[in-house]
Structure formats: C-alpha cells, structure tokens
Amino acid sequence: MADNNTNREMRNQWNELARINPFYAIDSVPEFESVEKADINTFFARGREDVDKFMKDMDITQSNEKTIVEIGCGMGRMSNSFSEYFKKVIAVDVSDEMLKKASEICKKTNVEFRKTDGDNLSFIPNESVDVVFSFIVFQHIIDTASIFNYIRDMSRVLKMDGIAYFQLRTFIPDFAEDITIKKIIKRKIKSIISRDTSNGGKRDDNAGNLENQFANNFSVWKGSRVDISDLLIFLKQQKFEIISIKGVDTQYTFFKVRKAS
C-alpha cells in the first residue's frame, strides 16, 4: 500500500485540478479549456461515446443485471452512461471535489459515489461485483505501488469470472541481459499483444496554456508508467486470466482480464 502521504498528495492535487477546471482535468480537449464555456451536455455526450465503445470491447452479457465499479469516476462523465447499461454503478474517486461536483450533475439513482484512499476498494465486500473498469486514471497515479494495490483489490471484489477492464501507461523493459522469468514473459507478450495505438480512447494532445499549467505544477498530470512484464506476473499472481491487451508500450494500454479460480 502506498504511504498515506502519497495518497494525500494525490487527493490534494486532484482537488486543486477540480477547482481550476474539472472539465479539462477530466477530458483534455480544446472545447473544455475555458471552464466558463464548458458545456455539460457535450461533456456527457463524450462520456457516452466512450462508454458505448468500451461496452462493445468488454462484451458483457446481461449487463443490466450486473454491478460495475468505476475507479476514478471524476464528475461521472462515464458513470452517467454506465448507469443505463448496468443495474448498479459504484463510482469511486480519490478527490472530494470531483465527487461533490459529480453528485451535483449526475443524478442517476443507480449510481453510488464513493471516496477511496487512492489505492484500494476497501469499502466493497469480497466477490460482490461483476465488472471493474478504469480509464485515464492509473496513468496519473504517481506511485505504481498504488496501481498494483488496486489490481489486488479488483481481484478481491470481483465475483468468479468477473471482468476487469482498465487502461494504464506501459513500457517494455530492456530484456537483453535478463535471463530470468522476464524472457519467458517476453515470449508470452509477443503472442498476445497488439501494438495497435489507433484505439478510440486516445485523447487530443492539445498543448494549450492549461495543458502547460497542469503539466508544470501537478506531478499527477505526468503520473507514471508500468513495466508490462511486472504487470503480467502480478496479474497471474492475482488469479487473473488475460483475455486481451491492446496498445502495449503506449499511454493507452488496455487490459481485459477475467478472474479465474
């Protein structure tokens, strides 16, 4: 578990980002650069587009009977639309400010907003949910130990055969001098990965003023990246079976994994 200072730092920074411009902090496209002009309908419509696309990728049967946990829900941009696919949405965020704004604008009765410490889902019982989802959140986590902690907890809260679908930034380490398990992993990666970076989750990397302000003043904006081989080993240890991986070695690496026995 990441130390409390790291979690506090993440919370403070995201609260500050939410006070400056929560729309741009969540969805960094030119139309949200001015907080005064940000249109809430556009914000939710973009969330719906992402949700429709991810629902296809996740391919969840009978989702209307199921519960999804969304880690890093922000202002409910996607929770709002997930609520139309799922029976219940547990929308989790580290930032009080984001959660406050989310509950003001997202009034869906089957969405429950919850605050997390920043690295766990401790308020969710064991084996109680069907799907765990996260998009453009783990890439902002400063200490990768928090990401691994979340993955451990995803396995705990998921029912057997439950699906975790999450995105983070990865890199392929240099294996040249490594004769241990990483070599085996490398062969495995080669057989399952796609280096496709044309996935729809890609953001517009507009380098405007706000982008610079965020990048220069907030370490969470730059976040971290995860060694893909460490991640594969860890997923296996947590009893996850890999269904697909897309965009390895990019900011937008998508994992779809199933909790196996």
Ligand X SMILES: C[S@@+](CC[C@H](N)C(=O)[O-])C[C@H]1O[C@@H](n2cnc3c(N)ncnc32)[C@H](O)[C@@H]1O
Could you list the residues that contact ligand X (CB under 6 A)?
Answer: 10, 14, 26, 47, 71-74, 77-78, 93-95, 98, 116, 118, 135-137, 140-141, 146
In whole angstroms, what is the distance from residue 205 CA to residue 240 CA?
32
CA atoms within 13 A on the CB side of 214: 28
- Residue placing its CB nearer to ligand X in the complex, 59 or 96: 96
Q: What distances in angstroms separate CA 38 from CA 18, 20, 32, one per listed residue?
A: 13, 13, 5
Burial class (CB in 10 A: 0-12, 13-18, 19+), 125: exposed
Q: How far is the CB of 87 from ligand X (least distance, A)?
A: 20
In whole angstroms, what is the distance from residue 33 CA to residue 27 CA?
10
The string of DSSP codes covering 47-78 is HHHHHHHHHHHHT-TTGGG-EEEEES-TTTTT
Radius of gyration, CA atoms only, the chain: 18
- Residue placing its CB nearer to ligand X in the complex, 95 or 229: 95
- Record the tokens describing residue 207, joined without a space: 């380098």
Q: How far is the CB of 182 from ligand X (least distance, A)?
A: 27
Length of the chain measured in residues:
261
- Residue placing its CB nearer to ligand X in the complex, 99 or 189: 99
Q: How far is the CB of 69 from ligand X (least distance, A)?
A: 11
- Residue placing its CB nearer to ligand X in the complex, 18 or 228: 18
Q: How far is the CB of 116 from ligand X (least distance, A)?
A: 5
What φ, ψ does residue 32 adopt, rounded to 5°?
-110, 10
In whole angstroms, what is the distance from residue 121 CA to residue 71 CA?
9
- Record the tokens describing residue 182, joined without a space: 């990483």
Q: How far is the CB of 154 from ligand X (least distance, A)?
A: 12
- Residue placing its CB nearer to ligand X in the complex, 22 or 162: 22
DSSP 8-state assignment for residue 87: S
- Residue placing its CB nearer to ligand X in the complex, 14 or 255: 14
- Record the tokens describing residue 59, joined without a space: 């391919």
- Residue placing its CB nearer to ligand X in the complex, 98 or 163: 98
Q: How far is the CB of 175 from ligand X (least distance, A)?
A: 30
Q: How far is the CB of 141 from ligand X (least distance, A)?
A: 5
